């Protein structure tokens, strides 16, 4: 079975999306129960989905899906048309963002259309990501070869006009940080909040230095650093454990924590 850093990146991005959907879920509940909505927070979340999903996330998935569909005639029958779903997600997100803008400045933006649009957005996005996690990514890991992944990576990163927008990738990392600060920090199901357990601050690590300091406090030999060829390198005294694509420093730390937990090195 061949795999790629692209799959790792998509799964990390799905976790981030899930955190933002949880924030929107809380806002939808407040709107339905009390007619209350934090319009600035909801607007920032939707800006993230519009900017990051359309410019950075979906292009990665589209390339994987196209490659898989070229090899597997029944891919569309099994998984639906992922490209059409991405177009529909863009429309659903745009309609919701328009409704939120219409209510901006209202003291009590109670509106059945807005509540319905938020529920449609939440349901569609969760179903869509669930399908990708249960069908698209496992099929891609099972069927695509190392050469297939190299071809996808070339289309994404190496062409003069890459498929996805690297500048948007970096800009939206800052937006994600702002959203989490606006929402009061990490939600209860945040992967960073639970990854490190109770002591030593590993779950609080957001930078390479904080991560490496926390690893030393835990008596673990792994260290995370920038890689000369780009991205990040998680290494132990015996050698490289895993390479991590260019996802932003905080995302690289989260990825390293997930990897170590999967290896049984962390509780």
Residues 180, 197 within the same domain: no
Q: What is the pLDDT along the chain (267 residues), one digit of tens a residue?
A: 556 778 888 888 888 898 899 999 999 998 888 888 888 899 999 988 988 887 788 988 999 999 988 887 655 545 568 889 999 999 999 999 988 888 776 655 556 788 889 999 999 999 999 999 999 999 898 899 989 988 888 887 765 555 656 666 666 767 777 887 888 754 433 333 333 333 344 555 568 888 888 888 778 889 999 988 788 889 988 888 888 877 678 778 877 876 776 666 765
CB-count exposure of residue 103 (10 Å: 0-12, 13-18, 19+): middle
User: Does 76 map to a domain?
Assistant: yes
Residues 135, 248 within the same domain: no
Q: Summarize the chain as % helix, strand, coil (round to 5).
A: 70, 5, 25
Give the DSSP letter string of 26-53. Answer: HHHHHHHHHS---HHHHHHHHHHIIIII
22 token code pair:
């949880």
Q: What is the CATH number of the domain that holds 33?
A: 1.20.120.520
Residues 23, 99 within the same domain: yes
Q: Are 206 and 78 in contact (CB under 8 A)?
A: no
d(CA 158, CA 215): 34
d(CA 150, CA 248): 22
Domain of 98, in residue numbers: 5-189
Residues 198, 173 within the same domain: no
């Amino acid at each position: 079975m061949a795999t790629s850093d692209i799959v790792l990146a998509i799964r990390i991005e799905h976790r981030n999306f899930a955190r933002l959907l949880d924030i929107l879920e809380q806002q939808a509940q407040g709107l339905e129960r009390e007619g209350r909505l934090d319009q600035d927070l909801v607007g920032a979340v939707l800006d993230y989905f519009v900017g990051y999903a359309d410019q950075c996330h979906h292009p990665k998935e589209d390339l994987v899906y196209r490659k898989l569909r070229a090899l597997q005639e029944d891919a569309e029958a099994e998984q639906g048309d992922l490209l059409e779903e991405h177009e529909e997600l863009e429309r659903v997100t745009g309609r919701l963002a328009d409704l939120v803008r219409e209510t901006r400045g209202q003291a009590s933006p109670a509106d059945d259309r807005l509540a319905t649009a938020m529920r449609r957005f939440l349901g569609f996005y969760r179903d869509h990501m669930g399908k990708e996690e249960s069908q698209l990514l496992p099929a891609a890991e099972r069927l695509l070869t190392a050469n297939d992944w190299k071809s996808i990576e070339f289309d994404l990163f190496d062409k003069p006009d890459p498929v996805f927008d690297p500048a948007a990738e970096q800009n939206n990392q800052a937006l994600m940080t702002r959203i989490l600060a606006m929402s009061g920090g990490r939600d209860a199901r945040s992967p960073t909040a639970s990854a490190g357990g109770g002591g030593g601050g590993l779950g609080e690590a957001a930078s390479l230095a904080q991560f490496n300091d926390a690893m030393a406090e835990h008596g673990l030999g792994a260290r995370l650093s920038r890689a000369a060829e780009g991205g990040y390198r998680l290494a132990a005294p015996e050698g490289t454990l895993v390479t991590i694509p260019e996802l932003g420093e905080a995302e690289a730390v989260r990825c390293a924590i997930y990897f170590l937990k999967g290896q049984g090195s962390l509780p």
